[in-house]
């Protein structure tokens, strides 16, 4: 398999008119078969040639998830061009940077992106054409874009003599440039070859070999612009001949789960935290017996996690729980769910224990865009809830003297686009320096300890990882979001956004909560003060990355005065 399109063609020849993609039109699920997808890929790739798109040219996709996102991606790669995905949440400034820095000659866009593009078009240096996915009835913008629908419906014209270009795609060719989330400085463009991505999905597939099922269904909810979803939620399903359903509205997620009945679902830890809080809140309105069984289940789950002994009474109750609460909660996620896959950030311990206690497996994994992106994942039949699993096939992990996670293997990126300095700093002697801290146990399972550049060094010189403390705080229903601060300071403080669903006196309740939590913490890890936020961290206010990681530097800049004021009055 020299390129990713060969993988698609192999499966297309087997599956033909079977559904590949599903999306909603007027609230109804519509399917696109392998053959129909192939037809659209061929029409699009030939059309791109008429626009004089050559091998190696960059083409951006700025659109919400849809079958047409994937079809366009495959059409771009088919002629040896390079896909440059962009987040739909990117603001105008970020889009100007990405389109100019990548030197994109063309962009596939949706209606939301069209509004932004119209405002920045004059600032774009390389782009010549736009292809719009949705249809717009008015002819007002017709000269601005080419309609995707019209391209597919065009009648074939007599071919004019054209300059012949080499569109043969080899495994060493760049398949895409994916820009990192950019929690601090401008994002870097990670160049991934066909070979590196193929190696990644083949390595990840070995973890699915334990699942005795051929007809896999995936429900896609994460942005395809992220390497995690593009590889795990799109290209991996293509490799195994799965069906992909696109969720277009997060509020309809539970309904979509029941309809689709996915076998595997790729998501970020934040989703599991939200689902846990919704389930916990709904249990509060139930009768005393349901509440008792629910709490007992969590106690048993915690004991299993700690490998403590379970009493005879608990074993008896577990049988009752299994046919009552567990059965109902499992059905919320469809009838065929074999496992959730969690990546993009650390999985909250409480969420991991809860879902595991319900008989819902979460395969926590670890990856970076620079590694295409999957580095490790938990095997289905031997999950360690506090670890991110074993290295995928053809991948080696080692820990440096400074406890940094170093990775080597075929999935390694080609480098950063137009940034040799950063490339040389990140890849040293063939090893990817991840910037994450970790350790490896005797069974070769990796554990993440924190992010190197996020470590808080207090005024006493002690190193404190903020994420584990934040996870402990987030285990409480009263708190929805939190960020710890205290670099170079005598003690830690926190920015907290409360859970608005809880009708409480936020200040007093959180104060009491932190008081109890601090009793269990060493002095340097105690939260001495906190500030209540009036609005949550979000991608819209640029305080979260598209994969919902905290942009700590941005948050500190935005709340600098509030944070510093907590060190002025030392009462």
Residue scoring higher pLDDT (80 or 268): 80
**Matching CATH number, 455-565, of 3.40.50.12780, 3.10.129.10, 3.10.350.10, 3.30.300.30:** 3.30.300.30
Cα–Cα nearest to 514, from 525, 504, 503: 525
Tell me if 73 sits within 8 A of 93, measured CB to CB.
Answer: no
- Rounded to whole angstroms, how far apart are CA atoms 494 and 510? 11
Residue scoring higher pLDDT (222 or 505): 222
Angle at which helix 4-15 crosses helix 194-205, to 10 degrees, equals 50
Cα–Cα nearest to 525, from 452, 447, 473, 448: 473
Q: What pLDDT does 571 receive? A: 46
Choose the weakest-confidence range: 67-71, 396-400, 519-523.
519-523
Q: What is the pLDDT of residues 272-308, one digit of tens each?
A: 888 888 888 888 888 999 999 998 988 888 888 778 8
Q: What is the pLDDT of residues 106-134, one digit of tens each?
A: 999 999 999 999 999 999 999 989 999 98
Q: pTM value?
A: 0.86
CA dihedral 404, 407, 413, 415 (to 10 degrees): 40
Helix (H, G, I), strand (E, B) or coil at 141: coil
Q: Is the pLDDT of residue 570 over 60?
A: no
* Residue 308 vs residues 210, 299, 303, 323, 349: alpha-carbon distances, Å: 28, 11, 5, 23, 17
Q: What is the pLDDT of residues 313-330, one digit of tens each?
A: 999 998 999 888 988 888
Q: What homologous superfamily does CATH list for 4-170+214-262?
A: ANL, N-terminal domain (3.40.50.12780)
Helix (H, G, I), strand (E, B) or coil at 508: helix
4-170+214-262 with 455-565: one CATH topology? no
Burial of 10 (0-12, 13-18, 19+ CB in 10 A): middle
What CATH architecture applies to the domain 265-452? 3-Layer(aba) Sandwich (3.40)
Q: Is the pLDDT of residue 372 over 80?
A: yes
| Mean of all residue pLDDT scores within the chain | 90
- Rounded to whole angstroms, how far apart are CA atoms 562 and 445? 40
Tell me if 73 sits within 8 A of 61, measured CB to CB.
Answer: yes
Q: Which residues contact 34 (CB under 8 A, 6 or more apart)?
A: 11, 12, 15, 16, 17, 18, 20
Q: Is the pLDDT of residue 143 over 80?
A: no
pLDDT classification of 212: cutoffs 50, 70, 90? low
Q: Is the pLDDT of residue 341 over 50?
A: yes
Q: Is the pLDDT of residue 399 over 60?
A: yes
Q: What is the pLDDT of residues 409-460, one digit of tens each?
A: 999 999 999 999 999 999 999 999 999 999 999 999 999 988 888 889 888 8
- Rounded to whole angstroms, how far apart are CA atoms 533 and 510? 13
Cα–Cα nearest to 335, from 298, 364, 363, 360: 360
DSSP character at residue 147: E
Q: What is the pLDDT of residues 550-566, one digit of tens each?
A: 889 899 999 999 999 99
Q: Is the pLDDT of residue 161 over 80?
A: no
In three state form, how does the secondary structure of 298-331 look?
A: HHHHHHHHHCCCCCHHHHHHHHHHHHCHHHHHHH
Q: What pLDDT does 232 receive? A: 93
Other C-beta atoms lying within 10 Å of the C-beta of residue 46:
15
- Rounded to whole angstroms, how far apart are CA atoms 47 and 61? 16
**Looking at 348-430, which runs of residues are DSSP E strands?**
362-367, 374-377, 390-391, 395-399, 404-409, 415-416, 427-428
Q: Can you name the residues that pair with 397 across neighbouring β-strands? A: 407
Q: What is the pLDDT of residues 449-504, one digit of tens each?
A: 888 888 898 888 888 889 889 988 988 878 989 999 999 999 999 999 998 766 56
Give me the percent of the chain exceeding a pLDDT of 70.
93
Token pair, residue 370, equals 């620079």
- Over residues 169-177, the mean pLDDT reads 97
- Domain definitions of the chain by residue range: 4-170+214-262, 265-452, 455-565
What order of strands is seen across the sheet that includes strand 339-342? 28-33, 19-25, 243-246, 217-220, 264-267, 339-342, 362-367, 374-377, 390-391
* Residue 144 vs residues 44, 129, 214, 351: alpha-carbon distances, Å: 19, 8, 45, 47
- Rounded to whole angstroms, how far apart are CA atoms 266 and 242? 14
Q: In residues, how long is the chain? A: 571
């Amino acid at each position: 398999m020299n390129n990713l399109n060969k993988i698609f063609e192999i499966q297309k020849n087997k599956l033909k008119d079977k559904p590949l993609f599903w999306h909603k039109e007027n609230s109804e699920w519509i399917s696109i078969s392998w053959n129909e997808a192939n037809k659209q890929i061929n029409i699009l790739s030939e059309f791109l040639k008429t626009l004089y798109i050559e091998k190696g040219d960059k083409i951006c996709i700025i659109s919400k998830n849809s079958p047409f996102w994937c079809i366009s991606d495959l059409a771009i790669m088919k002629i040896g061009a390079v896909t440059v995905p962009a987040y739909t949440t990117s603001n105008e400034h970020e889009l100007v940077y990405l389109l100019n820095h990548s030197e994109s000659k063309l962009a596939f866009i949706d209606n939301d992106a069209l509004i932004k593009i119209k405002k920045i078009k004059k600032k774009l240096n390389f782009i010549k054409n736009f292809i719009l996915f949705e249809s717009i009835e008015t002819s007002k913008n017709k000269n601005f874009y080419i309609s995707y629908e019209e391209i597919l419906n065009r009648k074939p014209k007599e071919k004019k003599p054209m300059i012949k270009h080499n569109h043969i795609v080899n495994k060493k060719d760049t398949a895409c440039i994916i820009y990192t989330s950019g929690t601090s400085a401008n994002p870097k463009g990670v160049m991934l070859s066909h070979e590196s991505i193929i190696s990644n999905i083949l390595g990840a597939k070995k973890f699915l070999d334990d699942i005795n099922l051929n007809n896999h269904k995936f429900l896609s909810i994460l942005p395809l612009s992220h390497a995690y979803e593009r590889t795990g939620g799109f290209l991996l399903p293509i490799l195994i001949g799965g069906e992909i359903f696109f969720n277009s509205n997060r509020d309809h997620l539970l309904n979509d789960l029941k309809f689709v009945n996915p076998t595997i679902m790729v998501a970020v830890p934040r989703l599991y935290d939200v689902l846990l809080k919704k389930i916990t809140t709904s249990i509060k309105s139930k009768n005393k017996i349901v509440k008792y069984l629910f709490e007992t289940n969590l106690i048993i789950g915690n004991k299993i996690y700690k490998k403590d002994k379970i009493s005879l009474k608990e074993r008896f109750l577990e049988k009752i729980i299994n046919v009552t609460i567990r059965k109902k909660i499992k059905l919320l996620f469809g009838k065929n769910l074999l496992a959730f896959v969690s990546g993009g950030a650390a999985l909250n311990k409480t969420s991991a224990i809860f879902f595991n206690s319900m008989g819902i497996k979460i395969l926590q994994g670890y990856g970076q865009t620079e590694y295409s992106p999957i580095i490790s994942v938990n095997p289905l039949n031997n999950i360690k809830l506090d670890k991110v699993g074993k290295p995928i096939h053809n991948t080696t992990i080692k820990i440096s003297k400074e406890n940094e996670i170093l990775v080597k293997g075929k999935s390694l990126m080609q480098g950063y686009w137009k940034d040799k300095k950063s490339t040389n700093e990140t890849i040293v002697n063939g090893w990817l320096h991840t910037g994450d801290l970790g350790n490896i146990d005797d069974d070769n399972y990796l554990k993440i300890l924190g992010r190197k550049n996020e470590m808080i060094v207090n005024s006493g010189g002690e190193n404190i990882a903020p994420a584990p403390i934040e996870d402990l705080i987030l285990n409480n229903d009263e708190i929805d979001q939190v960020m710890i601060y205290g670099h170079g300071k005598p003690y830690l403080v926190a920015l907290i956004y409360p859970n608005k669903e809880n009708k409480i006196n936020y200040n007093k309740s959180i104060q009491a909560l932190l008081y109890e939590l601090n009793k269990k913490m060493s002095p340097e890890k105690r939260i001495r003060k906190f500030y209540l936020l009036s609005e949550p961290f979000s991608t819209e206010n640029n305080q979260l990355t598209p994969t919902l990681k905290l942009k700590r530097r941005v948050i500190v800049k935005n709340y600098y005065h509030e944070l510093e004021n907590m060190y002025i009055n030392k009462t």
